[in-house]
Amino acid sequence: MVDVDERSRENRKDLIIGNWKMHHTHLDAIQVIQKLSYRLDLADYERVDVGVAPPFTALRSAQTVIEADRLPILLGAQDAHFAESGAFTGEISASMLAKLSVRFVIVGHSERREHFGEDDALVNKKVKAVLAAGMTPVVCVGETLEIRERDETSTWVAGQVTGAIRGIEDATNLVFAYEPIWAIGTGRTPSTADAADVIDVIRETLGPQGSHVRMLYGGSVNAGNVADFMAKNTIDGALVGGASLDPDSFASIVRYWI
């Protein structure tokens, strides 16, 4: 049980996002969103901004159910191309996503960095494209186990943050997710103190804007550990992978104080 009233997060509302990765067809997506909505009530949405990021193929169906049922669930995408349009076979532009009422886009997830060769410069271009299309970039940063063991996590993460925001004057419309790579899908997590320390590094890297930006922790978050992370003032929410696929599990994560 977390005493949420003791936390002082200024005007940073809690934000809990489900990253479905390459899971759920558009038919599954409709069911999952509906079931999730049955388990949450208005008081939950008042306390927490709730987001889901389905695969591209499910976005239109997700949008339809969210709008038809007037659900206060934020729709997100897992990636976007940096160009407005063009000869980029297989890619999806930020403005195409915005047209589907997508509100946020995950950018620079470690799986994109690892399997699709995304570097800080590309992440930076994507962040700018997402902002230009009027959506919120959810920028993922985090270290490998090797970097952590070398005690270079802070420098590494600060470098990723600096790279992501290059040329962006106002970073207050961004969200950052600190996701240690060794904690993603492994069941392992850093201590809440370690997670909070790295998030404070992100805040410091952003300078005076840092205290206005929402910061999430991600990596093996589940219904059993989310409250511990949320008990840290500097952690405003969670980016949840595996445990967000099932609506019961995700609803218990959203209602972390119960």
Active site residues per annotation = 109, 179
Among 107, 131, 221, 226, binds ligand PGA (CB under 6 A): 221
Assess 189 for contact with ligand PGA (CB under 6 A). Answer: no
In this chain, which of 142, 190, 210, 241 binds ligand PGA, going by CB under 6 A? 241
| Sole window of 22-30, 36-44, 46-54, 237-245 interacting with ligand PGA (rule: CB under 6 A) | 237-245
Show the CA angle centred on residue 65, arms to residues 108 and 69, nearest 5°. Answer: 125
Say if residues 232 and 11 touch (Cβ distance below 8 Å). Answer: no
Sole window of 47-55, 141-149, 199-207, 234-242 interacting with ligand PGA (rule: CB under 6 A): 234-242
d(CA 108, CA 126): 8
The answer to whether 224 contacts ligand PGA (rule: CB under 6 A) is no
Q: Which is nearer to ligand PGA, 100 or 245 (CB)?
A: 245
Indicate whether 220 belongs to the interface with ligand PGA (CB under 6 A). yes
Residue of 99, 169, 110, 158 whose CA lies nearest to 138: 110
Binding to ligand PGA by residue 239, rule CB under 6 A?
Answer: yes
53 bridge partner residues: 19
CA–chain centroid gap for 38, Å, is 23
Q: Contact at 8 Å (CB) between 137 and 112?
A: no
CA distances from residue 209 to 78, 173, 205, 226 in whole angstroms, order as listed: 25, 10, 9, 26
Is residue 219 within the footprint of ligand PGA (CB under 6 A)? yes
Which parts of 163-182 interact with ligand PGA (CB under 6 A)? 179
Other residues' Cβ atoms within 10 Å of the Cβ of residue 208: 8
Signed CA dihedral, 242, 90, 99, 84: sign only: positive
Closer to ligand PGA by Cβ: residue 124 or 220: 220
In the complex, least distance from residue 184 CB atom to ligand PGA, rounded to whole angstroms: 4
Tell me if 143 contacts ligand PGA by CB under 6 A: no
Residues engaged in binding ligand PGA (CB under 6 A): 19, 179, 184-185, 218-221, 239-243
